[in-house]
Structures are given as structure tokens and as C-alpha cells.
Structure 1
């Protein structure tokens, strides 16, 4: 029997961003420099395939520093960033701390510190409990940063009289959701200070723009990514809001619920910033077993961003 036709709209950009590439390269360079084991605090990026691949090379993933042995063991901090207390604790234990925080997250940390030095109370737009939010709030003393998740939170804020305010955002948020929260903040606090340059990173914005382009033309859309990946979850939400009837986050081809994709003729495919291209290919191959697939790449931006390794891991001149 002949297979039914399926037009696949492949979003570009998709998948790895410069911060993720750098973080993975940091772990691999540390393994080369120090040899295994190299300890990594938290998943280096939110993707099980990537984590398992690094484990096979000798990386040991831990959630807290006390899981690493005392002494000069190398410990890598994940791309999401960490509170200041973490590198401080590493120094006390003489661990070799290597920071793989995405430079665009570090930018948010520095902005928060500058606002604090200028006497401003910082309002951070983000998702409670996400490691990036924990890390950003941990750059300052308790109470110096207040978390805001929704427009409703803005109305509930209790601000000390006379307080000067500033806001920052998690880098992986929905562009549209965040715009609503920012508008609410500016409406209630007209004098609030914002970032000099948008905190939501270029990769998050570009991937959401590509999904907005293809989603209205798709019967279904798959985001390749992990459940705990904030930017991947936002892509799924963006697809739904843009009019795609079925949008699902899928880690691997084996996780596809085929009952949701039985009668489709058009499929959008994208990948979160921590999902490798091999998993995108795996998903498309799985559909090709059931459909006569034709693929059209829909590109909305070119990305050529590169972040160098931390200084201590860069090749030494001969």
C-alpha cells in the first residue's frame, strides 16, 4: 500500500544555540584537560540525550556540590547559572570550579547587580524554581529580587514606599507573555528601569518567530525537546496560540503518540535550544516510515553567534 503524503515544514533556526554549544564544549574540554570524572552540577543543558552522551565520556552529574569529593575535583556549573553561594562553596572546598553559564544569562546577572548598586529593587520576570531564576535571584541578598510570573502578580506586588524599581527577565520566556507582564509593570510603575537590551535571548526569540510563521499552516507541530526545558515548552505554547490544532513536546521518536498524528497532511517540526539535530532527524525518519514525506525548510533568521570557552579551558599558545 502506498503511504499518504505529508508535507513537513522544518523550522529554522531550531535546536542548539550558542550558549548550549558552549556549555557542552566546556564539559568536553574539561574532560580532555582533567580526565574523568568531571562533575557537573545540574544537567548541563536540559536534554537527556545530551546528558547521557556526556555521562558516557566520563561526566558525573550531581545536583549539589556536596555530592562531589573534597579536593581538586573539577566541577562545571550548568548553562543556566548558579547563585553566588555555589562558587563560594566550591572555593572553600578547593574544588576546580568551571563556569559554563550562558553569557546571555551572565548579562542578566550583571544587570541585576548594577540595579542593586544603584539602590533599586529588582523585579525578575520568570518561572519559580527554574534553575536560571534560582541562579539570578541568588546573585543578590534575600529580598533584593522579587519574582513576578504573571500580569496578575504585578497587581499583587507590595512595594515599599519610595522604592526605586528595575526589572529583568529569564532568558527563555515567551516573548508575547513577557511583553504583557512588562506592559503591566510599566503601567503600574511608570518610572521602572528596564534592561538596556532585551533579556530574552536571540535564540528564544528566533525559534518562537519561526514557529509563529509555520504553525497556522500545520495540522500538527512537534517540538523536539525535554519536558524540563523552558524554551521548548514555550515553543509548544507559541504553536498553540498561533493556531496549530495539535502541538506536542516530544523527547524522542519512541515517545510519539501516533494516535495524535493519524490524519495529518502538514506537520511543523522545530527543536528547543538544548535539543540536538540528530533527534530532529530521528523524528522525521519516524514519520517517513508512515508517510511519503516532503520537507520544506522555513527560515526566519540567520544565526552566527559564537561564545568562546572560559579562559581556563582555552587552548594554550605554544
Structure 2
């Protein structure tokens, strides 16, 4: 279904039973009913809450010009508009990311604890999977997110990305194979992830080198994002020994008063790190076989605006 742009905002539409409802009010209610879903779609495609909000604003501006009488499935129609707006923005911000200073990490979101209990949702917005999605092309990412995360049909995806259903099937297969080769080998329960994070937290706060070595997997990778504003490693650091020594020596040299607070970030256990009482960054982890295989430390202040209050996410 194409996007209808000839509707007049504020015009009244006939309703069943002879009733009439103001078109703008009806459009607003439909948009708000699906807003959390639309934000989740846009965020998973863009990795940035700020850009996701911009995509939603553009979605709203398109939506209020739609002839609602011609829309049979408002949820699907809104998702289609949000996908198109996100795709346009994704192609633009890709160039911005290429010019980013140092490693780029998704913008962390403080989420409700019940998000962690939804295994499918928690994995889809995890730092680990979001980074894997960064390696896909914009169209591959859109197809993967819509198909694998939200279960959208091939024909609907084809309409959203401007491809044929047959082509979308091929893209979906290619993207799934790419992601499966790079995602965690097996999902761990929230309790297992919390246990690993608690061990890491104790070792971090006590500067315990051996404690860090015990909880870090030999192949652990540390990625830190300062965005050129805060100090961060210019490239990922690999190996338990290197990561543990860098953490302990860095804390020792700086002689800082570091404290950490457990939180649920992107649906997964994480730490909010404070220096002298002020937020310094968010540490998210990837856990496999009870040990940490990925550490993701976001320090860029511009990416820390969504950790003061919970962001609602949903797959429905």
C-alpha cells in the first residue's frame, strides 16, 4: 500500500454506526498506541535514541497526512513508514559514524527489569547484537530487524524497503547467516549474566587483577567509546590479560574514586560507573559460558542522556 498524502489533517472521517471522529485525534491515538513499538524498530535500525526520535517525528508528519479510511492495518502501516524514515536516516548517519573519533558503540538505554525477562527482546537490543547489526548494509539491517525480531512478513517488508518479496527473502537469508556467525554462541539467563557482572564489579572496585582474570574469558574484547570527548582506547583491546591489566593500571594511575551501580541497560545487566559521584559511563557486557567475552564502555556524554529514566521498549 502506498503512503497517501492527500488527506487533510483535522478533517473528519465517517465512522461505523454513523459516529464521526476528528481525523487528527484518531491519527494521534493510533500513533501513540504503537509509539513504543515504532521507537524500538527505529532504535534497532539506527543504534541511536536521538536518531530514532527524529525518525519517529518524521513518521508522525507522514502519518497525519494519510487517509486513514484507506488503511486496513494501522500498526503495519506505521511500521512501514518508520522503516522508510529510519532507512533514509541510516544511510545518512553511516557517513557520520565513519568519521567518528575512535570506536563507535550504540547509545545505551536504561530499561525496565522486565525487559531482561523477555529473552527475545533483550537479545535484540543488546550491545553485542547491535554491534553485529552495524556490520550489515542499511537494507540488510532493515530486513533482518523486521523479519527476525518483529516477525514481519516478506511482502510487507518488500513494501517497506522497496524490493520484491523474492529479493527480500534472499537478503533475509544472507543477513541471518551473517548475524548467526557473529552473535553469542548461546543465550544465557539473566541470573547467569548478573552473576558474572557481580564478580566483575567486585574485582573492578577492589582493583583485583586475579579476580578480573577469573571472570574474563581468554578471548574477551573491550570496546570503549569516548567520541573524542572523553578518553577511550583508540581501538578494541583483546585478551583477558591485556584487558585486566589496562583496567587495574588505569584505575591505579588515575587514583579516582570509582563506584559502580547495577542497572538494566538495553534489556541486559550492566553497570553505571561514577567517578567522584558523577556518571562517567555505562559498562555493558556480553556473557558466554559464565564468563565475560565482551565489555562495552560508553563514555561519550552525548550518549548518556537515556540512563536517567527508563525507556519503554516492545516487540508488539
Q: What's the TM-score, normalizing by structure 1?
A: 0.25
Q: What's the TM-score, normalizing by structure 2?
A: 0.25
Structure number having the greater helix percentage: 2
Q: Which has the higher contact order (CA 8 A, sep 6+)?
A: 1
